[in-house]
Amino acid sequence: QVQLVESGGGVVQAGGSLRLSCAQSGRTFSNYAMGWFRQGPGKERKFVAAMSWSGGTTYYTDSVKGRFTISRDNAKNTVYLQMNSLKAEDTAIYYCAASADLLAATTMPAYWGQGTQVTVSS
């Protein structure tokens, strides 16, 4: 079983930055594609970013391109989401996700973290 634990959420002013972290345990981290999703107030959970097991392929939803960067450190079993130029509409609970398949990591991941709240004040 894969366990995912997010950290790094908080309150930030519009235009600011945050870096989310997600630590994985339970299975070999480098075997999994990793992703981030978010769920805003009253909205459905949606895809944000994903990265292949090697880090060689990344995907982003259009609204975060150029502002968010996903990265991973396989030696630390951790995936990150660097969020810059934050906007009020980025306010959401951010979830880390893992899947053996990169496409699945962007749509229906096999494993989820518990989420971390990000609030952007305008």
Average pLDDT over residues 4-14: 97
Partnered with residue 78 across adjacent β-strands are 23, 73
For residue 71, give both structure tokens: 């990265």
Task: Give the containing element (helix H, strand E) for 107.
Answer: helix 102-107
The amino acid present at 30, given as its one-letter code, is S
Average pLDDT over residues 28-38: 93
pLDDT digits (tens, 9 = 90+) for 50-88: 999 999 999 999 999 999 999 999 999 999 999 999 999
Average pLDDT over residues 105-109: 94
The helix/strand/coil state of 109 is coil
- pLDDT for res 52: 96
